[in-house]
Amino acid sequence: MRILVSVQGKYGERIASNLRENGPAGWEVEVLPLPARLPAVIDDPSGFLPSPLPRADLLISLHESPGGADLIPDIAQGCGARAVLAAVDDQAACPPGLANQIRRRLDRMGVAYSFSRPLCSFEGGPHELLEAFAARFGRPILSFGRDGDRVLSVEVLRDAPCGSARFVASVLPGVRVQEAAERGALRHHHHPCLASMEIVTDLNDTLMHLSGYIVRAAIQAGLKKSSNPLAWDGFRKRIRPAGIDRDMENGRKVTPDQLIAEMHKTVDRLAEDGADRGDIKILSRALRELRHSFRVLADHKGTRKVTVFGSARCLPESPSYRQAVAFGREMAGKGWMVITGGGEGIMEAAHVGAGQDLAMGINILLPFEQSANRIIASDPKLIHVKYFFTRKLLFIKESSGVALFPGGFGTLDEAFEVLTLLQTGKGTLFPIVLLDEPGGDYWRLWKEFVAGHLLRRQLISPEDLSFFRVTDDVEEAVEEILGFYRVFHSMRYVGKELVIRLSRPLPRNALARIRRDFSDILASGSFRLGASLPDEENEPRLAGLPRLIFRFNRKHFGRLRMLVDFLNRETA
């Protein structure tokens, strides 16, 4: 891992030296000295930063002034960092308002970050690079050997970035156990530290004192566990970066065998943790259910699937039931499989339309025993699960579209679940259609509620309404799903770039219009057309498709859906 440490004085230089001397052999730590005095607002960063900046994976900012903090996004962009760890050891050097501005800029750049107050409180962050750093440096973790009521030995499992944990540990052997925490906290105050002695209003204390409390807590926790060697052995394994983490950190592919080995380790750690029997039962059942389900799904990997949600109470003579039969028949006629919850009502209707060969059911085991419908009941494509969370995963895992018919709490839960997945980018894009009975108003009134209460209160964005379409016409519903894949084929992230695979080339002037109309979704750079990237080699059947490639900001997913609509519409 390549680490760039920006510093504004001797305190930062000491921290960088500690990282270089005590970090893993594979870390490359470079220091970027910044002027001690910088303007609070910097309009032209080039006047204060060298060009080019050293390349780095992780940027650690040890700024001591607002100007130093203000440069964080510019340094991250210049060095190519994928993650940032910013020390907030002095509130005056990075006030909350400035910190929020920096976070927004990093969000737009697609760079992960953690602001730690103080730096020695850091325990990891939303990126594997931050987790890898936290395996060695952050909130201190100490392991103690005891001889009666005295400390025999101290092992630093995780040091503070400044080296204070190692500094404190050196004086604790021979100290009485009941005096160790206080002795260590006092020793900590003799170590050079970035933390300020100014009172922080919301803490009603100083960050220097807080860092001392952190050291005291680490000593107390270590002494408490010192009588349980097995727990410490397990903990050592947890905080050391495993080979699989290093491979991910360095961009290398992780093999199935490595992932399975990692799962074995995780299971072994449950015993080390003394996990509760009930928790182990949940994990065991979920793992068995998912393994069986993945085997069933694997037999139909190449077939597109639409998931249908709706009420189990819907009777065969109702208009919604007939709509679901017609929808299932139309989708099956196009070669799509139809996934439902496997029960009665709308679920049965969609399977009636699809026929047994193209029907798949994911049934939930309930206290009142929901029975499978007559189409799927004896079929090997019927999966039974105990937990709703595994069922929801399976509904969406390989689905290329979702159709929702009128229903109760469960249907509304499923509607908001799939919309949340799309809005947050936790699921790949797919079309969602809300299908009323002919002349019905169930989903029309629902949309009015969403627009009148959520959108009007700015709880969602206008573009979020592009994720779904309301209709009472089966042909329109089918076209909404099939039309989504007219030009758009699929998408995946390759490093920082989003790659949209296209089933046919774009018209000549389309790229210019995309660059003009959708620049707001870029983290940096521009849109370009291209061929398959080297990291896509594991999908050879898609290698011949043209690509639209760009750095998506991973924020405006509603606008991304609008881009897909543009692609499909332009070619049509």
The per-residue pLDDT for range 33-44, each reduced to its tens digit, is: 998 888 877 888
DSSP string, 71-118: THHHHHHHHT-SEEEEE-S-GGGS-HHHHHHHHHHHHHHT-EEEEESS
Looking at CATH, the fold of the domain delimited by 297-484 is given as Rossmann fold (3.40.50)
Q: Average pLDDT of the chain?
A: 88
The whole-number pLDDT of residue 230 equals 43
Residue 410 has pLDDT above 90, yes or no: yes
User: Any idea how long the chain is?
Assistant: 572
Question: Are 141-241 and 297-484 the same fold in CATH?
Answer: no
Whole-angstrom Cα distance, residue 113 to residue 88? 13
**For 462, which DSSP code?**
G
Type of residue numbered 66: P
DSSP string, 43-70: S-GGGTS-SSPPP-SEEEEE-SSHHHHH
Strand order in the sheet with 359-364: 382-385, 359-364, 337-340, 305-309, 401-404, 432-435, 468-471
- Highest-confidence segment of 73-82, 116-125, 280-289, 476-485: 476-485
Residue 314 has pLDDT above 60, yes or no: yes
Q: Where residue 229 falls among pLDDT bands split at 50, 70, 90?
A: very low
**Lowest pLDDT segment from 25-34, 194-203, 300-309:** 194-203
Structure tokens at 108: 């737009």
Question: 3.40.640.10, 1.10.275.10, 1.10.150.120, 3.40.50.720: which CATH number matches 2-134?
Answer: 3.40.50.720
Q: Where are the domains of the chain?
A: 2-134, 141-241, 252-294, 297-484, 488-571
Cβ 242 vs Cβ 263: under 8 Å: no
Residue 214 has pLDDT above 60, yes or no: yes
Q: Which helix (H) or strand (E) holds 565?
A: helix 557-571
Q: Which residue has the higher pLDDT, 111 or 208?
A: 111
The three-class DSSP label of residue 249 is: helix
- Residues 115-132, mean pLDDT to the nearest whole number: 85
Question: 3.30.390, 1.10.10, 3.80.10, 3.40.1350: which CATH number matches 141-241?
Answer: 3.30.390
The whole-number pLDDT of residue 250 equals 47
**Lowest pLDDT segment from 31-35, 245-249, 424-428:** 245-249
